[in-house]
Structure 1
């Protein structure tokens, strides 16, 4: 009887030690969040990333959900290109002008401010006909907001995600 009891106790001890070594869901979630935060920080430090717009909020307007995820801002220290929709007041653009915010140029005055829950990233880009002040608020889970102020258009805000550029995207730039 004592042998059976010893074996039973030994098996219980082994089961408890196996359970003690496994990570809980909470620990796994925290590790994944930490890994994502490191990826986002690396993207911002490299100053090479793609912002994909999913929602837009014009000044004084309602939130507009963008069905098509083809609207982007590709940020790079050498050249930044943008193709985003615009809804709002336009000041010095002709009627046959482009309805969206489209530009390509070299960013200037890049500023990065890291906080505990997000990163503030600012830059100024001179396009062909306008100057754009870009203000990102990037969260560590990969979501981001982008505010664009320009000389010829009312301010506008975009919600979306930040991701690493794909190789073919960098070749096209």
Structure 2
């Protein structure tokens, strides 16, 4: 009888010590979220990231899901490149324009404001034919919204993700 009791106690002690060492799903989720938050914060600190648009909402319009991940804005303090679709009203757009928001230029007046659960990044970029005001709201889970205001077009809003830029092969 004592032997059975001893074996049972030994089994219980081993099972409790093994289960105490394993992390719960909640702890693992918190670790992943913290890791993602650090990654996003490092992208904001370097001011070098890529915004990939997934949804677009034109002014006075409804939400449009974008196919593929081909629409982007590469933000860098030296050179910002944008290729985003545009749905909405154009005020003074040339006839040779392909309709999208496409520009390349150096961002000016970069301002970053940290909030409790997000970061606001504002910048102005002078393109070839227009001036674009960019207003990012970047959340710590990697999602972001981008508001683009320009002189020649109605405001437009994009939802998407930010990530680190991919290394270019030389």
Whether TM exceeds 0.5 here: the answer is yes
CA distance in 2, matches of 1:74, 1:2: 71
CA distance in 2, matches of 1:14, 1:115: 46
- Unaligned runs of 5+ residues in structure 1 are none
CA distance in 2, matches of 1:23, 1:128: 54
The superposition leaves residues 28-52 of structure 1 with CA deviations (integer Å, 9 ceiling, x where unpaired) of 1011011101100111111000000
Counting only pairs closer than 5 Å after superposition, residues 64-103 of structure 1 correspond to structure 2 as: 64-103=64-103
The superposition leaves residues 44-90 of structure 1 with CA deviations (integer Å, 9 ceiling, x where unpaired) of 11100000011110000111111131010000110000000111111
How far apart are 1:21 and its partner, in Å? 1.2
Length-normalised TM-score, structure 1: 0.94
CA distance in 2, matches of 1:27, 1:115: 25
RMSD: 1.2
1:9 match: 9
Secondary structure at the aligned position of 1:167 is classed as: coil
How far apart are 1:5 and its partner, in Å? 0.9
How far apart are 1:150 and its partner, in Å? 0.6
- Unaligned runs of 5+ residues in structure 2 are none
Kindly report structure 1 stretches of 4+ aligned residues shifted beyond 6 Å: none
The superposition leaves residues 93-118 of structure 1 with CA deviations (integer Å, 9 ceiling, x where unpaired) of 12222301000000111111112211
1:161 match: 161
CA distance in 2, matches of 1:21, 1:97: 61
Aligned length: 170
How far apart are 1:3 and its partner, in Å? 2.3
The superposition leaves residues 140-173 of structure 1 with CA deviations (integer Å, 9 ceiling, x where unpaired) of 111111000011111000011101010028x6xx
Counting only pairs closer than 5 Å after superposition, residues 128-147 of structure 1 correspond to structure 2 as: 128-147=128-147
